[in-house]
Structure 1
Amino acid sequence: MSGQEPLEIEMAGVKFYSAQDELYFFAWLKGIGSVSDVFGQGRAIYAVVDRDEITFDDASNSSHFFFGIKFPCLSSNV
Protein backbone atom coordinates (compact mmCIF):
# COMPACT_ATOMS: atom_id res chain seq x y z
CA MET A 1 0.00 0.00 0.00
CA SER A 2 1.49 3.29 -1.07
CA GLY A 3 -0.91 5.47 0.90
CA GLN A 4 -1.85 7.74 -1.99
CA GLU A 5 -4.69 10.19 -1.49
CA PRO A 6 -8.00 9.11 -3.07
CA LEU A 7 -8.97 10.62 -6.40
CA GLU A 8 -12.33 12.41 -6.51
CA ILE A 9 -13.89 12.46 -9.97
CA GLU A 10 -16.62 15.03 -10.62
CA MET A 11 -19.23 14.45 -13.32
CA ALA A 12 -21.01 17.79 -13.68
CA GLY A 13 -24.28 18.60 -15.42
CA VAL A 14 -25.56 15.06 -15.20
CA LYS A 15 -29.06 14.47 -16.56
CA PHE A 16 -30.91 11.17 -16.29
CA TYR A 17 -33.95 10.46 -18.41
CA SER A 18 -35.53 7.97 -16.01
CA ALA A 19 -35.24 6.79 -12.43
CA GLN A 20 -34.01 3.43 -13.74
CA ASP A 21 -31.16 5.14 -15.62
CA GLU A 22 -30.07 6.86 -12.43
CA LEU A 23 -30.28 3.69 -10.34
CA TYR A 24 -28.37 1.68 -12.93
CA PHE A 25 -25.62 4.29 -13.23
CA PHE A 26 -25.08 4.54 -9.46
CA ALA A 27 -25.07 0.73 -9.16
CA TRP A 28 -22.57 0.46 -12.00
CA LEU A 29 -20.24 3.02 -10.41
CA LYS A 30 -20.48 1.36 -6.99
CA GLY A 31 -19.67 -1.99 -8.63
CA ILE A 32 -16.24 -0.81 -9.76
CA GLY A 33 -13.78 -2.33 -7.32
CA SER A 34 -11.59 0.73 -6.86
CA VAL A 35 -14.51 3.11 -6.24
CA SER A 36 -14.85 3.61 -2.50
CA ASP A 37 -17.72 6.12 -2.51
CA VAL A 38 -20.32 7.54 -4.90
CA PHE A 39 -22.58 10.47 -4.10
CA GLY A 40 -24.59 13.17 -5.79
CA GLN A 41 -24.69 16.85 -4.99
CA GLY A 42 -26.94 19.11 -7.04
CA ARG A 43 -26.43 18.31 -10.75
CA ALA A 44 -23.07 16.61 -10.14
CA ILE A 45 -22.05 13.07 -9.26
CA TYR A 46 -18.81 12.34 -7.44
CA ALA A 47 -16.91 9.06 -7.45
CA VAL A 48 -14.07 8.58 -4.98
CA VAL A 49 -11.42 6.22 -6.36
CA ASP A 50 -8.82 4.44 -4.22
CA ARG A 51 -5.64 4.86 -6.28
CA ASP A 52 -4.03 1.86 -4.60
CA GLU A 53 -6.89 -0.41 -5.70
CA ILE A 54 -7.44 0.72 -9.30
CA THR A 55 -6.91 -1.95 -11.94
CA PHE A 56 -6.40 -1.73 -15.68
CA ASP A 57 -9.91 -3.14 -16.19
CA ASP A 58 -11.44 -0.49 -13.90
CA ALA A 59 -9.75 2.31 -15.82
CA SER A 60 -10.40 0.81 -19.25
CA ASN A 61 -14.09 0.05 -18.69
CA SER A 62 -14.73 3.44 -17.12
CA SER A 63 -13.02 5.40 -19.88
CA HIS A 64 -14.81 3.44 -22.62
CA PHE A 65 -18.13 4.15 -20.95
CA PHE A 66 -17.58 7.88 -20.45
CA PHE A 67 -16.05 8.55 -23.85
CA GLY A 68 -18.46 6.23 -25.67
CA ILE A 69 -21.54 8.15 -24.57
CA LYS A 70 -19.87 11.58 -24.37
CA PHE A 71 -20.58 11.80 -20.64
CA PRO A 72 -19.37 15.12 -19.22
CA CYS A 73 -16.55 14.09 -16.88
CA LEU A 74 -15.03 17.48 -16.28
CA SER A 75 -12.62 17.48 -13.40
CA SER A 76 -10.82 15.54 -10.76
CA ASN A 77 -9.50 16.68 -7.41
CA VAL A 78 -6.86 15.14 -5.22
Structure 2
Amino acid sequence: MWWWDARVTTLFQRNLQPTLTYWSVFFSFGLCIAFLGPTLLDLRCQTQTSLAQITWVFFSQQFCLLVGSCLGGVFKRTQV
Protein backbone atom coordinates (compact mmCIF):
# COMPACT_ATOMS: atom_id res chain seq x y z
CA MET A 1 0.00 0.00 0.00
CA TRP A 2 1.59 3.20 -1.15
CA TRP A 3 0.02 5.40 1.54
CA TRP A 4 1.02 3.21 4.49
CA ASP A 5 4.56 4.11 5.49
CA ALA A 6 6.55 4.43 8.70
CA ARG A 7 4.95 7.80 9.55
CA VAL A 8 1.46 6.33 9.49
CA THR A 9 2.55 3.38 11.62
CA THR A 10 4.23 5.66 14.15
CA LEU A 11 1.22 7.96 14.28
CA PHE A 12 -1.14 5.03 14.77
CA GLN A 13 1.01 3.50 17.52
CA ARG A 14 1.30 6.83 19.31
CA ASN A 15 -2.49 7.34 19.24
CA LEU A 16 -3.60 3.74 19.72
CA GLN A 17 -5.41 4.23 23.05
CA PRO A 18 -7.46 7.30 21.99
CA THR A 19 -8.27 5.64 18.65
CA LEU A 20 -9.55 2.47 20.28
CA THR A 21 -11.47 4.49 22.86
CA TYR A 22 -13.23 6.58 20.21
CA TRP A 23 -13.94 3.48 18.14
CA SER A 24 -15.46 1.58 21.06
CA VAL A 25 -17.59 4.55 22.16
CA PHE A 26 -19.03 5.15 18.70
CA PHE A 27 -19.48 1.41 18.08
CA SER A 28 -21.42 0.91 21.31
CA PHE A 29 -23.44 4.09 20.72
CA GLY A 30 -24.32 2.86 17.24
CA LEU A 31 -25.48 -0.46 18.63
CA CYS A 32 -27.66 1.29 21.20
CA ILE A 33 -29.30 3.39 18.49
CA ALA A 34 -29.62 0.53 15.99
CA PHE A 35 -31.58 -1.84 18.18
CA LEU A 36 -34.46 0.65 18.52
CA GLY A 37 -35.51 0.41 14.88
CA PRO A 38 -36.74 -3.20 14.86
CA THR A 39 -38.62 -2.66 18.11
CA LEU A 40 -40.70 0.19 16.70
CA LEU A 41 -43.86 -1.82 16.14
CA ASP A 42 -43.62 -3.62 19.50
CA LEU A 43 -43.15 -0.31 21.27
CA ARG A 44 -46.20 1.07 19.47
CA CYS A 45 -48.30 -1.88 20.66
CA GLN A 46 -47.08 -1.62 24.24
CA THR A 47 -47.74 2.11 24.49
CA GLN A 48 -51.01 1.87 22.53
CA THR A 49 -50.14 4.76 20.24
CA SER A 50 -50.37 5.16 16.48
CA LEU A 51 -47.44 4.55 14.20
CA ALA A 52 -47.30 8.26 13.32
CA GLN A 53 -47.00 9.22 16.99
CA ILE A 54 -44.27 6.72 17.79
CA THR A 55 -42.21 7.69 14.74
CA TRP A 56 -42.13 11.28 16.01
CA VAL A 57 -40.35 10.00 19.10
CA PHE A 58 -37.64 8.41 16.98
CA PHE A 59 -37.43 11.38 14.63
CA SER A 60 -37.02 13.84 17.49
CA GLN A 61 -34.34 11.66 19.07
CA GLN A 62 -32.33 11.49 15.85
CA PHE A 63 -32.86 15.17 15.08
CA CYS A 64 -31.63 16.22 18.52
CA LEU A 65 -28.66 13.89 18.11
CA LEU A 66 -27.81 15.57 14.81
CA VAL A 67 -28.14 19.09 16.22
CA GLY A 68 -26.15 18.20 19.33
CA SER A 69 -23.37 16.62 17.28
CA CYS A 70 -23.16 19.65 14.99
CA LEU A 71 -23.08 22.09 17.90
CA GLY A 72 -20.54 19.96 19.75
CA GLY A 73 -18.33 19.89 16.66
CA VAL A 74 -18.54 23.67 16.22
CA PHE A 75 -17.70 24.38 19.86
CA LYS A 76 -14.91 21.81 19.90
CA ARG A 77 -13.42 23.32 16.75
CA THR A 78 -13.60 26.90 18.05
CA GLN A 79 -11.99 26.04 21.41
CA VAL A 80 -8.82 24.54 19.93
TM-score (norm 1): 0.33
Which one has more relative contact order, counting CA pairs under 8 Å at least 6 apart?
1
Q: Which has the higher helix share?
A: 2
Q: Which has the higher strand share?
A: 1
TM-score (norm 2): 0.32
